[in-house]
Structure 1
Amino acid sequence: MRIVVVGGTGLIGSKLVAGLGARGHEAVAASRRTGVDTLTGEGLAEALAGADVVVDVADRPAREDGAVTEFFETSTRNLLAAEAAAGVGHHVALSLVGTGRLPGRGHFRAKAAQEKLVEAASVPYSIVRATQFFEFARAIADAGAADCKVRMAPVYFQPVAADDVAGILGGIAAGPPLNGRAEVAGPERFRMDAFFRHAMPAWNDHREVLTDPRAPYLGAELDEGTLLPGADALLGTVRYGDWPGRIAVGGRPAPIRLGSVRRRRLPSYARH
């Protein structure tokens, strides 16, 4: 199966390309580094020629509300049009858990717009909403920083390792279109302010973490359960306490308070 991964040179994309290749698929990384620009359409027709599946994991680094929404809308329109012309049979889009609960705010607004375009297109699809990646934890802390302090809301979240996300995405991409959504999350639940209060010293980051119920995340103020997946979420296997990136070189892991989460066994198509 020929599977084109848009954003295939990024964190999730590169893992996905490697994993699909190991499963025997022809996995192609498409990004501006490889001459494919979904914003302008440059290189899209060539990259999608003969593709069975397209997986869109591209992201926009900027967090300005208007700019990020414009990126996802323009990129997705161009991509879906090129897929229809190429006869692609399955479009897989990586989205965020919480999209739909805050559709008019920040990054959630942009992902909601992207999902709407995917659902309305002629190409069969699967939308995979993931929770926050372990690998982005430090960036989340930095986004909440001001005056040498980090403000975090006392809300719950269930972060996941990028390896788990890539593995589950690969299984869904190689399977039949869901024509609906699936959610992916880590195996443990944390309160966000407590998580960073315990995790940051292991990164050699000793900024004070303040609990602030109004602290925004991706431009939105959160309710207690906004970032939590539903009961049917596919859970990864990597625990934060076992993830190598949890500590700085030469550092020591800090204890993390865990919450209870009902585990769900991954279906066969999502195991890796």
Structure 2
Amino acid sequence: MYKNKNKKGYFYKEKGLYDDTLYVFWFSIGSFRSTLSASEERIKGTVDNLYKYLQHAYYGKARNILIINTPALEYSPGIMNYMSEYIYEYINRIKQYNQSYKNIIGRFHVSHPDTNVFYYNANDEFRYILNNQKTYNITFVTNSYKDDKKKNENKQYKYSNYFWNDSVHPTSIVHELIATDIHNFLNEYSETKVKDSTTHDKAKYNFKKYENKNENENENENENKNKNINDIFSNSESFYSFTKLSNLLILGIIYLFF
């Protein structure tokens, strides 16, 4: 962690002197999604690119920078359920990636002591949430919301009970927890308190909106299924029982495939 070097807080107050924006860099996740090709060369190339981006940002008058490391993707369903034999290799690669990040950030900060550089450990936060899932009412941590929904469409799943949205991406619930922790993290290491901005409030609103959207879609799907079944029986009174049964089977097959 590179603590605040500015007497006035981590944002520069002098307008026109430097950019008072907080620049956030978070990439490298894609390197681990479906391949183990995160070789030494690839890791070095990605880290070197980060240094170049930091330099470009600095020359553009950026002085407040937040770097987020690679999260604990070895716990994701995509790796746990389909690539479990490579879990330890993933763990080692991600550790190597994150250590390389810290080294390059340290090098950058030494070269530019007038910057405020924050290093946020998303890897630890992922582990913390997973280890304390009950605290956050998270029930499912080894399978994803989308996968469970595909396997059993007739069952209603509560989006807010899942850690993973799909094979590698966390749900908006986890994103909100991460966002809140970053907010507190910035407050902790800043001489000036970080106030809740309209952007922060909007993000929190969108997290809830996305969660409700997923759960409402589930409810609507179940309602439509029940409605379709009721319509079949109510509109079939004039047919012979054999015809009714045939139509029901055909409609059932069509419904399953479409």
With structure 1 as the length reference, what TM-score do the two structures score? 0.33
Higher strand share: 1
Larger helix proportion, structure 1 or 2? 2
Quick check: which has more Rg, 1 or 2?
Answer: 2
